[in-house]
Chain A
Amino acid sequence: MLTSDHRIYKTTLKTILPLPDPDAPVGSPAHLNVYPEFPVGSTVMALYPDTSCFYRAEVIATPDRVGVHPDFLSLNILLKLIFRQLLPQNTSPLTKSSLKTTKAWNTRYQPSGSLNFLDISSRIYALQKLLSFPVGFGLEVYFFASNFSVLF
């Protein structure tokens, strides 16, 4: 349980996408194996490293390819290539100015410190959506989590 400083919302599954739990036991609905891998071109949601905010993105490489492609050996390139941020016309980019209205940039949206492979393995998640985005939020959604630490 988080403290009372953390805002509580009452909501439904229309606006919730469950994340996998790296510590979940085999057989648990939260286990990583339950989540399918997304093919290239899938629309997903990715978590900004070291933040608690997600952005819409497109998968442009699968974990298998990442493991052998020399370009992906650079951490900075990795972050850019796995998920390419999508900015459709009807969706404003997640910019500092637009996000300041809901949360302070420095606390939620500004990555802090340098990243390492452990950060990547524990913090990058992506969620695929099957229905229209961002207007519709379907009940039948699929999820994906990449543990990139096994790729290097």
Chain B
Amino acid sequence: MSIKQLQPGRKVVFHQPKPADGADSAWILAVVVKYVGPDKHGGKYEVQDAEPQDDGKPGP
């Protein structure tokens, strides 16, 4: 099954960027917010962490 454009609200597994302190990044549950546009990897997306931030701050 090849990946087609993902619709907003679709649950995905997202590989978080590696933390600045060098710790291992994690695979987390996230939700597609929107399709941003095409790119060489098949598409750019905004995804939102399914868990709220510990410090209450929103993402970048």
Contacts and interface: CB of A to CB of B under 8 A. Distances in A.
A3 B23 CA distance: 27
Interface in B7-50: 10-17, 19, 21, 23-33, 36, 39, 41-50
B54 to A, nearest CB: 5
B16 A143 contact: no
Nearest to A137: B15
B33 A8 contact: yes
Nearest to A97: B23
A104 interface: yes
A123 B24 CA distance: 24
B52 A6 contact: yes
Contacts of A142: 1
Interface string A110-128: 0000000000000000010
Contact of B51 (A19, A29, A45, A103): A103
Give the contact-size bracket for chain B.
35 or more
A127 B27 CA distance: 11
Given A19-B12, A139-B3, A107 B54 contact: yes
Contacts of A36: 1
Interface string A1-36: 111111111111111111101000000011000111
A141 B3 contact: yes
B46 to A, nearest CB: 6
A18 B43 contact: no
A62 to B, nearest CB: 19
Contact of A45 (B1, B4, B13, B46): B13
Interface of A: 1-19, 21, 29-30, 34-36, 45, 47, 52-55, 91-92, 94, 98-99, 101-104, 107-108, 127, 134, 137, 139-143
Given A11-B47, A15-B14, A98-B24, 11 more contacts: A6-B50, A7-B48, A7-B49, A11-B44, A11-B46, A12-B42, A18-B3, A54-B29, A101-B19, A102-B25, A107-B52
